[in-house]
Structure 1
């Protein structure tokens, strides 16, 4: 299973249990240790992941950090953990700052099991920065976030490579924060710069600056809205392979309802199911065939080999239909990531279709050779 699939699976479990975690220890066991495991480290090997690593820092004796990931016996990443319900605040993680100073680790992570803040020492050597250079939220991540996270995996970990991109990540995020602030409250300097580019012929008075402040906010939102719409149009357009699997109809059947529209949610569900099944079958053998009341996912585009049905016609009541033989069992889901919870059933259904074909011998031909 790819890293992104593992993260989605963990995210689905987290949504179910996070409200029941009452202690920091429960957060570690249920949320943080599985995350470290996804990074490729053996959480049960103290030579690789050491819990409660202790060091004496100045007058403070017995300082501990919750987890230290080790390489060749030396810490490379430090983890300080808080309860899942807690907001992350570096002022409440002073031991992480002190421990970073006295170890050879170049990276420190402050986490509540949902958000992971990654720190290093870009500003002053051997002194942990006051702001993270990278933040990963397991319940709200994008593909590019996973690509950055992969750099911290056991198989890819390279200090120099991470440090080379850490500065870019940190300042890109800072610029985004400034732009986001300007969208709401554009600064005087920004308004003056805008006016100097587009306003010609009159002195820039206080009234004009106020007028352009509102126009700038409106222009920002319209520009972003247009960009989002353009991206959505591209994202919602099926790929060539998806067009083939969606539109191909067996010769013995005809689609009578020409008003059926395959939604983006159905396409995303289709992609998730393909991702789940690619461990046991070629994804090109998994087809989508939409209908009025459900969206069928079929094996080899054969309606006698149903994998499941996506019942997404009611956006407020999503459901997936799983098959036990010919019987369909319907399960409600709160969001698309919960499809991963049914991975074993989906694989079991497809496995029943992937059996060695038996070559049947024509009885008459067999007798002729006797």
Structure 2
């Protein structure tokens, strides 16, 4: 018969059993993961790559950012060969670069709760608020001037 005393008597036993079951499952999964990722690399190098992968996992390139990159390619198609144009995504902004060189950034795209902003790499680091990424096209003259400074 199921009474309060019987339930109280079996509660710690069941709790311990469930904890042991969960621990075994977690250990099995960890062991399997470790066996599949065994390599000849040094542990220090592996931990650095793990850190990089975790940081990269937090960075998500959105369609709006890729659209901004595409619009820059359209704006600059007559100024430079398009294979010189690159992008890098960070947690706080999206860079559009010349020659994949961070010192030659053309513009940065930032998204927040109020909308989209671009920061141009001109003398004043001018910031414009935009309704959407297509509005970048309105600043094509400024973008071309920035790229011409690097040529």
Classify the TM-score, shorter chain: 0.5 to 0.7
State how far apart, in whole Å, the 2-side matches of 1:304 and 1:294 are.
Answer: 15
Deviation for aligned residue 1:323: 1.3
Among 277, 284, 287, the residue aligned to 2:76: 277
Residues 76-225 of structure 1: matches in 2 within 5 Å? none
State how far apart, in whole Å, the 1-side matches of 2:67 and 2:119 are.
Answer: 16
CA deviations over 1:53-81 (Å, ceiling 9, x no partner): xxxxxxxxxxxxxxxxxxxxxxxxxxxxx
| Count of matched residue positions in the alignment of Structure 1 and Structure 2 | 99
1:291 match: 90
2:37 match: none
TM-score normalised by L of structure 1: 0.26
Distance 1:336 1:315, change over 3 A: farther
2:121 match: 323
2:138 match: 341
State how far apart, in whole Å, the 2-side matches of 1:300 and 1:315 are.
Answer: 31
State how far apart, in whole Å, the 2-side matches of 1:330 and 1:255 are.
Answer: 31
**Larger helix percent:** 2
Among 97, 100, 108, the residue aligned to 1:301: 100
TM-score normalised by L of structure 2: 0.61
Deviation for aligned residue 1:283: 1.2
State how far apart, in whole Å, the 2-side matches of 1:305 and 1:295 are.
Answer: 14
CA deviations over 1:76-134 (Å, ceiling 9, x no partner): xxxxxxxxxxxxxxxxxxxxxxxxxxxxxxxxxxxxxxxxxxxxxxxxxxxxxxxxxxx
2:6 match: none
**5+ residue gaps in structure 2?**
1-51
1:311 match: 110
Among 55, 60, 63, the residue aligned to 1:257: 55
State how far apart, in whole Å, the 2-side matches of 1:256 and 1:307 are.
Answer: 27
Aligned residues: CA RMSD = 1.8
Deviation for aligned residue 1:328: 2.0
State how far apart, in whole Å, the 2-side matches of 1:348 and 1:300 are.
Answer: 16
**5+ residue gaps in structure 1?**
1-253, 355-370
Q: Where do 4+ consecutive residues of structure 1 move more than 3 Å?
A: none
Distance 1:347 1:255, change over 3 A: farther
Secondary structure in 2 matching 1:328: coil
State how far apart, in whole Å, the 1-side matches of 2:70 and 2:122 are.
Answer: 22
State how far apart, in whole Å, the 2-side matches of 1:280 and 1:304 are.
Answer: 19
State how far apart, in whole Å, the 1-side matches of 2:99 and 2:92 are.
Answer: 21
Deviation for aligned residue 1:324: 1.6
